[in-house]
Amino acid sequence: MTVNPIALVTGAGRGIGRVTAIRLSQAGYRVALTARSRRQLSEVASQCPGETLTVPGDITEPGAVEALFATTERQWGTVTALVLNAGAATSAPVTRITDEDWRHQIGVNLTAPFECLRRAVPGMREVGDGRIVAVASMAAKRGEPYIAAYTAAKHGLLGLVRSAAAELAGTGVTVNAVCPGYVDTPMTEASVATIVAKTGKSTIDARRLLAGKQPIGRLIDPDEVADAIMFCVNSPAVTGQGINIDGGAVQS
C-alpha cells in the first residue's frame, strides 16, 4: 500500500500559504497546516481534498517549532515537503525602526524559517528525500526604501536557502526560495492601508502604486506563486535557487 507523502506549510491560513496547502493536497500530500488563526486553518483544511492536520500556533514562540514537528511526526511521520511561508512586513524609515520592530521582523521572517529548516533536515536526510521551499520576496534581491528590517530578513532567508542547498546537495534534499513581487494577499492589503494612512491616497491609487512596481502592471496572483512552489517541490534537480515571480521587476 502506498502511503501519501507528508507536507508542512507555515502561514497556511491565508494568501500564498492557503493556496499552496490546497495545491499540495490536490497533488496527493497529507498536509500539516500551521498559522495563528484556528478558524482560518479550519477553513483551509475544509478545502483540501486529502488528509490534513491543523496545528494552530505562533512559530516565533519558544518551543513552537519543536512542538509543531513533534505533533506532525507523531501523527504521520517524516515531513518530506516543507513550505516556509509565514512572514510579516512593516514599513518605516530606517531611523524610526524600533528595536522591537527589528527583532520581530528578523524573528518571523528569518529565525523561525531557520528553526523549521534545521528541525526538518535530519528526517529528510534519513529518508533521502526532501523539498524545502522558502517564500522570500523581491526584497531578498534588492533594497527599497522604508522596509529595511524586512529586506534584511529576506536577504538573510535567501542566504540561508543558498547555503543549506549547497550543504545538502547530493543527499536527496533540495532547498529553494521563491521571490514574489507584490502579491494580491492580505499582507499587501495591509501595505495598501499603510500607504492610505500615511499619504492620504485613495485605496485604488495605493493599489495602483503597488501594482505598478511589477512591469506587467498588476499584482501577482497567489496561484502564480504556488505554481513556482510546486515546481520546486516537483523538481529534484533544482536547488539553491531564488525564483522570481515579479512580473519582470528584477531580471535574473
Give 183's Cβ-side CA count (13 Å radius): 25
Active site residue 150: yes
CA atoms of 125 and 38, how far apart (whole Å): 31
Which residue in the list 29, 146, 150, 182 is annotated as catalytic?
150
Instruction: Count, in order, helices (H) and strands (E) of the chain.
Output: 9, 7
Those residues whose C-beta lies under 8 Å from the C-beta of residue 221, and which sit 6 or more positions away, are 183, 184
**What positions carry a catalytic annotation?**
150
